[in-house]
Amino acid sequence: MPALSSLRKPVVLLSAAVGFGALAVSLAQVPGAADEARTELEAAKVALEAGDTDAATAAVDRAREHADTVQLGVQGPAGVLGQWLPVVGTSARDARHLGDALDSAVSIAEMGTATLPEITGDDATFFEGGNVDIPTLERLVGTAGEVRTELASAQSSLTAIEATGPGGGRIGDARDSALEQVDPLADGLDDLMPLMEELPTILGAEGDRKYLLAILNPAEMYYSGGVALSYAPVTVSDGRVSIGESVDTGANREVFEPRYWRKVKGNPFHKGRQRVMLAGLAPSWPVAGEETLNAWRALRGRNMSGLIAVDVIALARLSEITGPMDVPGYGRVDSSNLVETLIGSYDDYADPSSRERKDSNKALVGLFVDRLLGTGQLPDKVRVLADAARGRHFAAYFRDDEVQDTLGDLAISGDLSQTKHDYLGVLTQNTVGSKTDYWQSRRVSSDVRLRPDGSARVALEVEIHNDSAPYAGPGIDPQEGYFTRWAHLSVGTFLPRRAAVDTVTVDGTPIDFNVGDYFGRPFVRQSLEFPPQARRTVRLEYDVPAAAVRDGDTLTYGLDVDPQGMVRPQSVSVRLHLPEGFTAEELPEGWSAAGRGTVTWTDEALDDSPRFTLVARRG
């Protein structure tokens, strides 16, 4: 699916424009002008990357002059008459299409250079005083619609090229190269436009909108991500953002009182009365988000339109581009020490509910909003959050179904993969409220033996190492709470749809197990105790009925992997054994052959949500 970051700044649009400029070199009528247009578009791209919008605008203006020269040549009398001539007519028509594509490319570049100053730099108007300027936003949405039209026009021009006349080979290659650039941009913008069109409403242009912001602590994990350090209501009115009173979950007694709230139908992790923070037990944010909003209403009596969940790792990455920040009780922190300072330093405070920690937890909400809405660097901020979402460090949930569907298309909804094929989702949940997930290391290994009918036998091993530092608290380690070095985890393995589990072992010993159902996805969980430095291994063997699709002599294997937003990203490796007689065709990026009929993939620090398709053929 297209990612939000694929459209993060006009430089990307200029990259496509450079591709179209290269196409124009094939125009025999005006090779000089076409080449000059390409050169100027490249210069504009370089200038934008350097932050020199004046130079970029000047380069695009020159590119327009050259593109107009091209159009004069191919759309003028010679071009019009030439398209009807024998032999060269096809090439003349192709040249006209190429000229149109170049014209669209320069138009996109013009819109990019005109738009960029409004969203980044010292004179940006999109964010002013920590608020969103709605008129600027509406102009940006309108510009995006115009870019969408130009991309569609470019696609139409390129696909009309026949490439069968004189010079057709060069023209066809150039067409294909340009389509490789424009198609993903067009698809991405098609997916993004529904959200962009809703943004004014989301930001209160038609009345106040209320959202809940949760800052998460990955030193204590639930299946969805870190436990909330703090919550805060955020009201947006005509782009103006105001933050209500923050709730520090470590110091607010009401948060710890079990209470009822409306359950999301089918959620197996909602069990009667619960503490508010337990609303995040479900592994996917469309469920955990709705549960959290319902829990917040039970706590505060307020309905909210959506939830933004961001952990301190994402906050640290945001500080890489926005600079150091002052945190009450800690002083100045930056991207290099923010995570360790905020969630790896509990030993420095004899009382974990001290005023310093309370103040810092409450301040995190304001710091995030301030950094996100501060003037400038919007494209880079969007990129950071989009990347964080793929590692499940950031998620957004909206109760508006259309908006939520768009977030899913953009991979920022925090949902689990819906694949019907092979799947890996290993998640742990802290069961005693300790902070030892800060040190958790995890290695996941999947051995897949694919059968000719597309089914597979899978052996999955999960090794967890409680790599905690020596106990530094008073007396004997209590095995729970802020200072303990013991880990008590519910290890959840979320499996491919319709998987049939045969055996589960812990450290080589078979155990009894139950298979749960999470909206059609089976899962097995086991509660385990980890003394300091302990390593334990959970192994499952199961059958997957549709790991691949058989079509004649081909097998198409699909694998989706969902990470957990850990401090130390987990290692994941897959070893795929093909049926006898089958050979893998072109391998996906990151995969390699490992002997006859076997291919492997490894990510030593999974901080993404990869989706793979691998085709094998008999013979």
Distance of alpha carbon 181 from alpha carbon 398, whole angstroms: 31
Give the DSSP letter of residue 357: H
Distance of alpha carbon 452 from alpha carbon 578, whole angstroms: 8
Query: For residue 230, what are the β-bridge partners?
Result: 215, 248
Q: What mean pLDDT is predicted for residues 12-31? A: 42
Q: Give per-residue pLDDT as tens, 493-524.
A: 999 999 999 999 999 999 999 999 999 999 99
Distance of alpha carbon 510 from alpha carbon 513, whole angstroms: 9
pLDDT, residue 20, reads 41
Residues of the chain within CATH 2.60.40.3680 domain(s) are 422-618
Place 526 in a pLDDT band, splitting at 50, 70 and 90.
very high
CATH topology of domain 422-618: Immunoglobulin-like (2.60.40)
Q: Give per-residue pLDDT as tens, 559-585.
A: 999 999 999 999 999 999 999 999 999
What percentage of the chain has pLDDT greater than the value 90? 50
Give the CA distances from residue 273 to residues 259, 434, 517, in Å, rounded to whole numbers and listed in that order. Answer: 5, 22, 21
pLDDT, residue 132, reads 86
pLDDT, residue 250, reads 76
Task: Report whether pLDDT(160) > 70.
Answer: yes
Give the DSSP letter of residue 138: H
Q: Give per-residue pLDDT as tens, 411-461.
A: 899 999 999 999 999 999 999 989 999 999 999 999 999 999 999 999 999
Looking at every residue in the chain, the average pLDDT score rounds to 86
Q: Give per-residue pLDDT as tens, 316-359.
A: 999 888 888 888 777 888 889 889 988 887 777 655 556 666 67
Q: Give per-residue pLDDT as tens, 199-248.
A: 898 888 888 999 999 999 999 999 999 999 899 999 999 988 888 888 88
pTM of the shown model? 0.85
Q: What mean pLDDT is predicted for residues 589-594? A: 95
Identify the residue with better confidence: 192 or 134. 134
Could you name the CATH architecture of 209-409?
A: 3-Layer(aba) Sandwich (3.40)
Identify the residue with better confidence: 251 or 416. 416
Task: Report whether pLDDT(372) > 50.
Answer: yes
pLDDT, residue 31, reads 55
Gyration radius (Cα) of the chain, Å: 27
What percentage of the chain has pLDDT greater than the value 70? 89
DSSP string, 419-470: -SSEEEEEEEEESS--SGGGSEEEEEEEEEEE-TTS-EEEEEEEEEEE-PPP
Task: Report whether pLDDT(272) > 50.
Answer: yes
pLDDT, residue 28, reads 42
pLDDT, residue 270, reads 96
Identify the residue with better confidence: 359 or 469. 469
Taking 3-state DSSP, the helix, strand and coil percentages for the chain, each rounded to the nearest 5, stand at 40, 25, 35
Task: Report whether pLDDT(22) > 70.
Answer: no
Q: Give per-residue pLDDT as tens, 286-310.
A: 999 999 999 999 999 999 999 999 9
Q: Give per-residue pLDDT as tens, 50-106.
A: 778 889 899 999 989 988 888 887 777 666 666 666 656 777 787 788 888 888 888
Distance of alpha carbon 247 from alpha carbon 227, whole angstroms: 13
Residues of the chain within CATH 3.40.630.190 domain(s) are 209-409
